[in-house]
Amino acid sequence: MASIQDGDTLLLHFTSTRPDGEIFEDTRTGEPVRVTLGKRQINPLFEEALIGREPGETVTVVLPPEKAYGKFRRKLVVTIKRKKLTLDHEPVPGEFLKVEVMGKPCLVTVVDVTEKSITVDANHPLAGETITYAITVAAILPRTG
């Protein structure tokens, strides 16, 4: 059986797990993800872990925060005065909102709501977490051309 090489197109299944064991992404119940190695379609550490593997194999990759969704940055939690926001509804904690943070449009998580302000978190929801990925090689697709 052929093993994976750089440039191969693969069908993969991913299971992504938080440190507490919660699975937040699992492709096993649907179609596998199609990726071509060397085209920056997946994390380079995943590509490295897949080289030399064969169909049917599962590899586990543990990414620390700085290699996954980044470290949690306290400065990305900001309080915005309501009068600076255009809201079409009353936001609630845990909700995602589109706002401008530090001059850039961002999708943020509402942390706190008061009469005069809204505190939002512009970190990725998984920032600061070590994430474990189980990647299963479903198939190596034939090269064309």
Is residue 65 located within the same domain as residue 112? no
Is residue 63 located within the same domain as residue 35? yes
Is residue 84 located within the same domain as residue 44? no
Section 120-124 average pLDDT: 93
**Domain enclosing residue 42, as ranges:** 9-69+128-141
Q: Is residue 4 part of a domain?
A: no
- pLDDT value, residue 79: 93
Q: Is residue 3 part of a domain?
A: no
| Interior/surface letters 3-36, b for 16+ CB within 10 angstroms, e for the rest | ebeeebbbbbbbbbbeeeeeeeeebeeeebeebe
Where helices occur in the chain by DSSP H, the ranges are: 44-50
Taking the model in full, what pTM does it have?
A: 0.78
**Number of independent structural domains in the chain:** 2
pLDDT digits (tens, 9 = 90+) for 44-91: 999 999 999 999 999 999 999 999 999 999 999 999 998 888 888 899
- pLDDT value, residue 86: 80
